[in-house]
């Protein structure tokens, strides 16, 4: 008959292996969105380049200026009327319309603009989930957190306290321009 301590050691070893395996899986899964976003951005740039080449006025390149700043070289020359779902989040700059963002991102900005207007302070992702009528479950909250963090990284939001989001300085109401 095996000893109780021996059985506990076997279970402990199996649990440790499972923790290691799950950690490796989590690392792999966390790396996938960054790689997928990079691929998506490359395809978006390629599509914009083809749109530029195939545009009716694309034959006249003599009037275009060459600039040393290539950061906005792939930015569309005109804002689109409505953002597509799953669209990329452009870096915020003065005058950039909220319509450059997808509806999900606009909804986050609108909620934070309302809070700012009412002087109610920052929002957490759990509070956003409740405000948007979502189930407050980890998957929904983490999806909102991912979007909010992306907006912070692109200059639309500020996170002065961990997990508490506000509009970034200079970003104003949803009237179109910031």
Lowest mean pLDDT among 55-64, 81-90, 102-111, 156-165: 55-64
What is the mean pLDDT of the segment spanning 5-15?
90
Query: Please, which pLDDT band fits residue 172 given cuts at 50, 70 and 90?
Result: confident
> Tokens 């609108």 — which residue?
110
Query: Please, which pLDDT band fits residue 78 given cuts at 50, 70 and 90?
Result: very low
Tell whether 39 is covered by a domain: yes
Query: Please, which pLDDT band fits residue 171 given cuts at 50, 70 and 90?
Result: confident
Look over the chain and give the mean of its residue pLDDT values, rounded to a whole number: 79
Tell whether 80 is covered by a domain: no
Q: How far is CA 87 from the centre of its chain?
A: 10
Structural domain range at position 144: 98-167
Tell whether 74 is covered by a domain: no
Note the pLDDT of residue 80.
Answer: 43
* Segment 17-49, tens digit of pLDDT: 998 888 888 877 877 777 777 888 888 888 888
What's the rounded Cα separation, in Å, for the pair 148 and 141? 10
**Based on the structure, what is the number of domains in the chain?**
2
161: domain CATH number? 1.10.10
What percentage of the chain carries pLDDT values higher than 70?
78
Boundary residue ending a domain (11, 30, 60): 60
**Do 163 and 103 reside in the same domain of the chain?**
yes
């Amino acid at each position: 008959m095996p000893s109780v301590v021996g059985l506990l050691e076997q279970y402990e070893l199996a649990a440790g292996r499972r923790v290691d395996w799950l950690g490796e899986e989590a690392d792999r899964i966390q790396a996938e969105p960054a790689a997928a976003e990079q691929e998506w951005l490359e395809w978006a740039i390629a599509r914009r380049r083809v749109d530029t080449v195939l545009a009716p006025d694309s034959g006249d390149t003599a009037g275009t200026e060459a600039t040393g700043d290539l950061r906005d070289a792939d930015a569309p020359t005109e804002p689109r009327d409505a953002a597509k779902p799953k669209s990329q989040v452009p870096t915020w700059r003065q005058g950039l319309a909220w319509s450059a963002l997808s509806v999900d991102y606009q909804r986050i900005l609108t909620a934070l603009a309302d809070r700012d207007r009412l002087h109610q302070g920052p929002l957490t992702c759990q509070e956003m989930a409740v405000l948007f009528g979502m189930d407050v479950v980890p998957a929904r909250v983490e999806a909102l957190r991912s979007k909010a963090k992306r907006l912070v990284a692109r200059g639309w939001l500020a996170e002065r306290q961990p997990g508490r989001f506000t509009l970034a300085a200079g970003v104003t109401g949803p009237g179109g321009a910031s």
